[in-house]
Structure 1
């Protein structure tokens, strides 16, 4: 029977002069302020009448301006927040001088509180006060604030019953 023996010999790594270079790096992190939206005013299509059997629509722009009535829809009052159409307003806060995007739903269903009849709001658009555009993006100012408005178009059927109609929609915001 033959036995083989092995001896463990220490092995030393040797740095050849000039072959190794070391450089320090750094790591960092910054926690941003949360981006927040606060509803300041609801989207309103105002108080109006509908000519029997005549469909119509009310378009409320996201940019300041008058609402447009068409078809069989006519406004009832000429002024005041209680009965005049106006865009929704959202106050936005977060990190100063940052850009953000907002997403709006495709449509919103409004339901009458007495009869349950529905009307649909479509073509929702938004506009940032600081960015001055309707592109779906906004800009926070040096204080980390902005306001954006939301408008849309209400399709009113010619058989709409007198009632108060309401519905909710969600606005989603994210930093760019």
Structure 2
């Protein structure tokens, strides 16, 4: 009887050990691939500055001065006068990068022009929204032109002088 019980214990141990070994040998695997798309870096180049030219202030009241983002002509009204013979231009930028890619744009809503302690706040008017899509297709160069116009009020009390200021247009891939 002792031999039968010992034999049963050994057999049970082998069966349990065999199942444990069989479960450990049951393995599986899966394969993943890696990928990347390399694109050109973005560049932005200023082609022209925002130049309103020479403006005569009104004798009384407040005039307005506008330079549209679609052209280079200054419109002065309400007593302000734009003089001819001086080059005027909207600000213009060229963005270059990977074709077909969406680019986010950031431009301030205004810029302050100064002459000594005198200032003129200019409202900026871009011809683009918060995003632009570069021309062309992926794996080819792409570009977009960004134009910025502006406008300001010109009171008859504005200090005469040459006013300047700067603003920054920033672009990034979306």
User: What secondary structure is seen at the aligned counterpart in 2 of 1:14?
Assistant: helix
What's the counterpart of residue 90 of structure 1?
93
Root-mean-square deviation (CA), in Å? 2.5
Query: 1-side partners of 2:61 and 2:53: how far apart?
Result: 18
Residue 40 (structure 2) pairs with residue 39 (structure 1):
no
Residue 126 (structure 2) pairs with residue 126 (structure 1):
yes
What's the counterpart of residue 56 of structure 1?
63
Query: 2-side partners of 1:175 and 1:72: how far apart?
Result: 44
CA contact (8 A) 1:50 1:160 kept: yes
What number of residue pairs does the alignment pair up? 153
CA contact (8 A) 1:104 1:125 kept: no
Query: 2-side partners of 1:104 and 1:116: how far apart?
Result: 25
What's the counterpart of residue 135 of structure 1?
129
What's the counterpart of residue 145 of structure 2?
147
Change (3 A) 1:121 1:22: same
User: What secondary structure is seen at the aligned counterpart in 2 of 1:165?
Assistant: coil
Q: Which has the larger radius of gyration?
A: 2
What's the counterpart of residue 14 of structure 1?
23
User: Residues 103-130 of structure 1, C-alpha deviation per residue, up to 9 Å, x if partnerless?
Assistant: 1112110001xx43100101x2222xxx
User: What secondary structure is seen at the aligned counterpart in 2 of 1:166?
Assistant: coil
Cα deviation, residue 137, structure 1: 2.5
Q: Which runs of 4+ in 1 moved over 6 A?
A: none
Query: What TM-score do the two structures reach when normalised by structure 2?
Result: 0.76
User: What secondary structure is seen at the aligned counterpart in 1 of 2:132?
Assistant: strand
Query: 2-side partners of 1:33 and 1:111: how far apart?
Result: 38
Choose from 13, 18, 36 the match for 1:29.
Answer: 36
Choose from 129, 153, 156 the match for 2:154.
Answer: 156
CA contact (8 A) 2:102 2:131 kept: yes
